[in-house]
Amino acid sequence: MGKSDTLRYGPPGASAVHLCVDMQRMFAEGTDWKMPWLERVLPNIVSITSAQPENTIFTRFIPARKPGQGCGMWRHYYERWGSMTIDQLGAEMIGLVPELATFVPPARTFDKNVYSPWIGTDLHQQLRSAGIDTVIITGGETDVCVLATMLGAIDWGFRVILVTDALCSSADETHDAMMNVYMNRFGEQVETVTTDTLLESWQGASQRKAS
């Protein structure tokens, strides 16, 4: 990743949390929303989670119960995507992929009904009250829920670290376009690093604290 693969503000420490976005069965298995890349980045997300599971939060996107439910344009959305409502999917499909579900607890889940985990929730208050000032973002999709998660974190003033090889999408073109935006337009507020670079720093900080 060249010059972008650096932590400009130093190693993330005890005030950092890993916010893993929507790594759920409904995006991994044979549904209309399957992300083919998910399996490719999953080992990196497992590595990051296993380094500090107690500092990991998995967001889960919770769709409407049945087609046509929702407020405003979300009603139309679930008319179009009726196959992805809970009644048609099965409630088990909103769960995390098995490789990540094993980390809960000590990792925890945080449910949301829209793309952003910051809207209509107390996530900001939870993190601030726990002394968190840094969010490390992984998951999917790069150009939808990851985007919403990142923008909200920026607006709340968190330090944002995006792990470039632990993000996935179902569309190559928009993934690539968003990565360019993240590394350039948001270059002052977002640090983009690889899994290896993150773990060299975050694992080391964890080990020093334990010793």
CA distance linking residue 140 with residue 28, whole number of Å? 11
Distance, CA of 195 to CA of 35 (rounded, Å): 20
Which backbone phi and psi does 191 adopt, to 5 degrees?
-100, 130
What does the pLDDT look like over 31-56, one tens digit per residue? 999 998 899 999 999 999 999 999 99
Report residue 211's pLDDT band, with 50, 70 and 90 as the boundaries. very low
- The amino acid sitting at 133 is D
- What strands, in cross-sheet order, belong to the sheet with 159-168? 108-112, 56-61, 16-21, 134-140, 159-168, 190-193
Whole-number pLDDT of residue 33: 95
Residue 204: its pLDDT value, please?
54
Each residue of 121-139: pLDDT tens digit?
999 999 999 999 999 999 9
The SS3 of residue 153 is: helix
Identify the CA nearest to 145 among candidates 112, 173, 121: 112
H/E stretch holding 111:
strand 108-112
Closest by CA to 159, choosing from 13, 57, 1, is 13
